[in-house]
């Protein structure tokens, strides 16, 4: 009897312990997670500058080949390659001795012709009064006049030969036709220079201030802009007042603002593009001919454009999506079409309407269809716990 009572008590204690353990192992009640905070921006249409970026190449305002105008041995170069020179500065000297001799010879011939002219004049002056008195024949008078006129012509021709010889002697000193920066020397001292062919080219001078930037735009771009202007979507600036800016190869921006001063009136049939050119001040010679740059044209104004920060756009395979928040604070993804970028923002050409609330921060916490806690972009977002 005592053993039976002991067993009953043991079973009761075991049941109490098991009940306690079961109570301890019961799962806690699941708490509902609060909506994730996200930063939203309510989009509104606004007018933004209409720009177009293209690849351009710099070129000298004037590029002039310095060429020899007389043949001969190149004696010396009087400037330092690559440095700036001034218009009229002597750059090269060609052996002048043959041209000095030619000038002396021409002057000698001129002296002979002067003497012949004086004799012809004297003969004419003697015969003229005799002819009036019928002391000489008409033939003698005509011969004297003809000899005098021939002497004048011969004298003039000889004077021209002297001037030509003086010019040739002066051409032995090759001067800079314009001010600018010189290129690499094409002919070295001691070379035989000829006025014909490539041997006559000595160097090239480029005027770097101002500087041209050549670029091209497509025929399609032109047609699309004109169509958008007719539809009232954009306002184009006057073609005579188009400004341009430059981005250099290292990503920096050139400080000067240029002006478009040429646009061709025909389309290149091989490329389908139209050539154009902008001019920039380059007083500090920061730009050099032959540089590739990015040219941005300020074409006008794009009306009623919707912009969102670039970070708000999510790429899904080949499409672009913007996450928005509806009136019930639910996340609604919207496919969008992107336009040009402007100051860290991107223009949405389709897919968004005025008043839409776009998620600009916290996209990773915003699952489509989920409820979120929108915080205006002007207010700091609360960190999620």
- Residue 149's pLDDT is 94
Longest dimension (CA), the chain: 197
Element (H, E) at 315: strand 313-316
Distance of alpha carbon 34 from its chain centroid, rounded? 55
Alpha carbon separation from 358 to 35, 41, 316, 317 (Å, rounded):
17, 5, 17, 20
Non-local (6+) Cβ contacts of 308 within 8 A are 41, 43, 322, 345, 346, 348, 352, 358, 360
Non-local (6+) Cβ contacts of 190 within 8 A are 73, 74
Non-local (6+) Cβ contacts of 346 within 8 A are 307, 308, 309, 310, 313, 338, 339, 340
- Residue 27's pLDDT is 52
Q: Could you give the domains of the chain?
A: 37-49+304-376 (2.40.420.20), 54-60+207-301 (2.40.30.170), 96-171 (1.10.287)
- Residue 70's pLDDT is 95
- Residue 382's pLDDT is 37
- Residue 86's pLDDT is 92
**Distance spanning both ends of the chain, measured CA to CA:** 63
- Residue 18's pLDDT is 47
**Average pLDDT per run of 10 along the chain, which is 385 residues long?**
48 48 52 82 90 92 92 93 91 96 95 94 91 88 92 95 96 93 88 87 91 93 89 86 92 94 91 94 90 93 90 86 92 91 86 91 87 78 38
- Residue 134's pLDDT is 87
Residue 140 near residue 123 (C-beta atoms within 8 A):
no
- Residue 31's pLDDT is 60
């Amino acid at each position: 009897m005592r053993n039976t009572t002991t067993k009953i008590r043991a079973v009761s204690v075991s049941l109490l312990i098991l009940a306690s353990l079961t109570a301890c192992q019961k799962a806690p009640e699941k708490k509902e997670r609060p909506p994730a905070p996200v930063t939203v921006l309510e989009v509104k249409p606004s007018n933004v500058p209409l720009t177009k970026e293209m690849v351009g190449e710099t070129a000298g305002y004037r590029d002039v080949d310095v060429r020899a105008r007389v043949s001969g041995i190149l004696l010396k170069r009087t400037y330092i390659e690559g440095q700036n020179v001034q218009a009229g500065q002597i750059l090269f000297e060609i052996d002048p001795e043959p041209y000095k001799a030619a000038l002396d010879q021409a002057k000698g011939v001129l002296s002979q012709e002067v003497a012949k002219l004086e004799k012809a004049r004297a003969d004419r002056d003697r015969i003229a009064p005799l002819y009036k008195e019928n002391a000489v024949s008409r033939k003698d008078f005509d011969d004297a006049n003809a000899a005098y006129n021939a002497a004048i012509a011969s004298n003039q021709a000889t004077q021209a030969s002297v001037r030509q010889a003086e010019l040739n002697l002066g051409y032995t000193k090759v001067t800079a036709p314009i001010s600018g920066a010189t290129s690499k020397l094409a002919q070295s001292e001691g070379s035989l220079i000829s006025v014909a062919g490539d041997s006559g080219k000595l160097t090239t001078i480029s005027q770097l201030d101002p500087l041209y930037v050549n670029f091209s735009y497509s025929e399609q771009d032109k047609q699309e802009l004109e169509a958008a202007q007719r539809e009232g979507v954009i306002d184009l600036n006057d073609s005579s007042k188009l400004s341009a800016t430059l981005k250099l190869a290292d990503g920096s921006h050139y400080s000067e603002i240029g002006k478009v001063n040429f646009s061709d009136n025909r389309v290149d049939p091989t490329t389908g593009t139209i050539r154009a050119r902008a001019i920039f001040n380059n007083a500090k010679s920061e730009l050099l001919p032959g540089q590739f740059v990015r040219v941005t044209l300020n074409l006008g104004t794009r009306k009623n454009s919707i912009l969102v920060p670039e970070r708000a756009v999510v790429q899904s395979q080949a499409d672009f999506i913007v996450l928005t928040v509806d009136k019930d604070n639910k996340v609604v993804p919207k496919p969008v079409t992107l336009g040009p970028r402007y100051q860290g923002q991107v223009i949405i050409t389709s897919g968004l309407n005025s008043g839409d609330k776009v998620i600009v921060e916290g996209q990773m916490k915003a699952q489509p269809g989920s409820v979120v806690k929108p915080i205006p972009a002007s207010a700091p977002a609360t960190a999620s716990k």
